[in-house]
Amino acid sequence: MYSGKLFEFLEHTADVLVRSYGETFKDALSNIAKGMFEIITDTTRIEAKISIDVSICGFDLENLVYKWLEELLYYHDAYNYVFSEFDIKSISEELLDGEKVLCLKAQVRGEEFDDKKHEPRTVVKAVTYHQMRVEKSNNKWIIDVVFDI
């Protein structure tokens, strides 16, 4: 696990820009998800009461990041779940309808949002591609995502 800063919030005019870090792409993906839920509530107060298996595919790294966060946001919007633990099990290249895609399998843990327990912060309306960045620099992965609030 990456021993430095996991994520940070950067200046953005109207929305929220989160930058995550990781020694591996998997770590950076976990940390960007944690950053997204930190916008919504204090993730230190989320208990791992439920576990959900997530399986998504994207046509490149940026699309994989987008679909990963979009899937987690779906669970929040549809079931009122908030997550604090993100265990990326695998990322593999697969063939889907004759096209190469990147597929991610993960397990996320959290619980249903309870405003008596969890601090309501800001509503995340959507994940965006605006200013999205996925890169490896100086032996660490960096992911930037702007969230529409």
Binding-site residues for Ca(2+) sit at: 15, 148-149
Asked whether 32 and 143 are in contact (CB, 8 A), the reply is yes
CA distance 131 to 106: 25
CA distance 91 to 94: 10
Point out the annotated binding site: 15, 148-149
Q: Where are the alpha helices (DSSP H) in the chain?
A: 25-40, 61-79
Name the DSSP letter for residue 24: S
Helix (H, G, I), strand (E, B) or coil at 59: coil
